[in-house]
Structure formats: structure tokens, C-alpha cells
Structure 1
Amino acid sequence: MTSVATIELTAQALLFDMDGTLVDSTTAVERTWRRFADRHGLDAEAILAGSHGQRTAETVARHAPPGADVAAETAWLVAQDVADTRGTVAVPGAAALLAALPPHRWALVTSAGRELAVRRMAAAGLPLPEVVISADDVRRGKPDPEGYLAAAARLGVDPSAAVVFEDAELGLEAAHAAGAPAVVVGPHAGPATAGLPRLADFRAVSVKATDSGVRLALPPV
């Protein structure tokens, strides 16, 4: 039988998405969007199918009934999310991986707002990095590369020298548009995942800090 080799990567910085990548917030997210759907008589499954990786305001604008106040509905949803983090946990191995990284070598790039990012990372028992780029910090959300470009700039690295960890199609498209190599976390199998290394979770990932960045060893999947 042919063995599959471990994948080795080097990077000056690591850029992480949050929901579905570092944090499993699936149950909380679904509860909030189902409340929104019930509030307006909408199809919750249709909303959930297209919401992953997208900023809340953009999902609201797509699904809210005609005449709805998108800003007000977005604020209502965000308040629901911030108040309800039950069931939010870290993706296995994420805590150990982040603890092994030098603080100036990683950033969080999330489609959640800053307050929600703080709440969910805390609920999952994960630290916040020095650089957090949230939905509040960009004009255009994923798949636009603005967030990843901003994170790389804040860390003082070229995007091509960073590695992005993402679980959603929109986020992977954003990484590609930013010129950053990416690793898929989880089972998503859209077009943007073609040819990319993949992780089920972070438990078997090893990391070593170097003078110029980090060296990663990813297990075969």
C-alpha cells in the first residue's frame, strides 16, 4: 500500500477564519437564523445554506422580505448571536495550535462583528490574537480579499507569505483573491477547494516557530 506523506508548509504568518475553522458555533448560528426565519416566515434551510462565511448584513439583505429594515434586522441578529453562545466549542486541536504560535505570527479574519468574535472565542476557550479583522473593519466581506489583505498588512507580511485556514467557499475565494495559499478545514468540497491541502481538525498538526515565521506539518487526510 502506498503511504501518503505528511504535508509540510512554511509561512511568515497564519491567518485564521473563526466559525467552522477555529470555533464550532454551528448550534448557536442555526438557532439565531431559525429565529430570524420564524420572525419573517422564511425558509430557514435556504438561509442556512447560503449564510456560511458571509457577513450577517449581507445574508439579511439577500433574504429579508421587501421593505424590511436591513440595518435594524442585522442589529437584532447580532444581539441574538452575542447573547447566545451555548454549545460553542473549539475545533479539536485549535487551542494547542494557537498556544504554540508566537502572538505576532497569526491573525483572526472573520465575517463576524468584533463583539461577537470576542464572545465566541472566549466561549470556545481560545485566545484573541494581536490582529483581529472583523466584519466591522472592512467595507467588503468575503469573497472580497480585503480582510486577508488587511490582516497580512497589519502583521507586516506579504499575503503570498501567509497561509490561510478556511472552511467555507467564500473564505477560500477570498484567500485566493488575496494571493495567499490556503488550507481547507473540515468537509467542505466546493470548487475553491480543488488542489488544496485539507485538515479534519488541528489535533495532528505540528508547528514550530522559526526566526522568520512558522513551520507546519499537516497530517495526510
Structure 2
Amino acid sequence: MGGSMLTGSVLLFDMDGTLVDSTASVERAWTRFAARHGLEAAAILAVAHGRPTIEVVAQFAPAGVDARAETDRIEAEEIDRTDGISEIPGAAALLGSLDPSRWAVVTSATRALTLRRLAAVGVPLPKVLVAADDVTNGKPHPQPYLMAAKALGYDATDAVAFEDAPAGLVSAAAAGAATVVVGGYAGAEARDLPRAADMRAVRVDQEGPRLTVTVG
């Protein structure tokens, strides 16, 4: 199968599922939350991936529960427990090969959790990071990707984004970024988009004013 080619001035990367495999850690955190409040964990996990924690807590928490306090607890648990997370294959090598001024991380995790996870698996820390605590509207709203591109000095329409989850794919597309699906998600949001099994399938030519990205 031939690869897909995209061009852009900057690259924007989601974290969980794109650079870091944190599925087991995330599932354990939401399962603990569900158990504390008598909720069905499967229903939460079906919609939680790629969305800010506080939005998911607010959606599912019973009346009277302090959503901010619950979110802080979940985040603290995940920061303390990095066992079971790993690098998405090829992520560290790819980011390490790039000009730091030409890429950013755009995540629904908090800044503290993002830095902890990236460091824990050996993925380079970004010069520009847009995290959950930096935005007023999280994914699937386009604000995170618009902010990241602007912070790098470009418009999001001149970016290539890498995402693995429905909320992130919608966010990147709404911002106008050319978007690559990382991993196996095959829902409607991923239809007709180029796909990389993991970051080993992504090659970037940095010669010239624009980056040429080959996927597959």
C-alpha cells in the first residue's frame, strides 16, 4: 500500500494514544471513579477518550458531587501512577528529529499530567504545549489546535495534526488542520483520512520552508 503525503509548516500532536499509550492507566482511573459513585465504568470509558477529564466528570458525576475536586483526584492518581504506560512506537525518535519550533503537543490532559507522562516514557518535551488547563473549550472544539498553531506562529490551516480519538479528530478538522489518524480508530471521524499504525509509519522531510509528511 502506498503512503499518503501531506505538507504543512508545523506539526501538532495529541498525546494519549498518539505519543503515549496510557490506555490501561486511564481505564483504571475511570473505573475507580465509577466505583466511588456507583456508576457503570463501561459507559464512561465509551466517551472519555480524548476529552478533558473535568467535562467527563461533570457529565457522569451524581448530583451534589464536586466535579472540580473529583477531577483533581483523578489527575493526582494518574500523575502518581505511571506504571503501565509506554511510548507509542517511534514517537520519541520522530519528535527528537524535529525542529522544536515546528511542533507542539495538543492534549486534553492537564499540563502537569502531560509533562509527567511524556517524561516517564522518554518522549521529548515540547516547546509549545496546549493542555486542558490552557483552554476554555476543550476537544472536540477547535480551540486547542487553533491556540497551538498560533503559539508556533502559524495558522492551523498550515498544520498537520496527529490524532487517535473522535474528539481530537473533530477538533483538528474544525481548526482546518490536515489530519492523520494514529492507530486503529475507524469511526466516521476517521473516514478518508490518512492513517499511521504508530509513529514509526511517519516520515518528515524538513528541507525547505514547509514540512513534507509521508504516512504509511
- Structure 1: give runs of 5+ residues left out of the alignment: none
- 2:70 and 2:177 map into 1 onto residues whose CA distance is 34
Partner secondary structure for residue 14 of structure 1: strand
Q: Cα offset for 1:205? A: 2.3
Tell which deviates more after alignment, 14-23 or 4-13: 4-13
Q: Cα offset for 1:32? A: 0.8
Q: Corresponding residue for 1:84?
A: 81
- 2:31 and 2:57 map into 1 onto residues whose CA distance is 13
Partner secondary structure for residue 203 of structure 1: helix
CA contact 2:109–2:132 (8 Å) conserved in 1: yes
- 2:201 and 2:189 map into 1 onto residues whose CA distance is 24
- 2:175 and 2:203 map into 1 onto residues whose CA distance is 25
Q: Corresponding residue for 2:204?
A: 207
Q: Corresponding residue for 1:181?
A: 178
> For residues 28-107 of structure 1, what are the structure 2 equivalents within 5 Å?
28-107=25-104
CA contact 1:105–1:213 (8 Å) conserved in 2: no
- Structure 2: give runs of 5+ residues left out of the alignment: none
- 1:180 and 1:8 map into 2 onto residues whose CA distance is 14
Q: Cα offset for 1:157? A: 1.0
Q: Cα offset for 1:66? A: 1.2
Tell which deviates more after alignment, 209-218 or 161-170: 209-218
Identical aligned pairs, as a percentage? Answer: 54
TM-score after normalising by structure 2: 0.97
Q: Cα offset for 1:212? A: 1.2
TM-score after normalising by structure 1: 0.95
Structure 1 counterpart of 2:101, one-letter code: H
Partner secondary structure for residue 127 of structure 1: coil
Aligned residues: 216
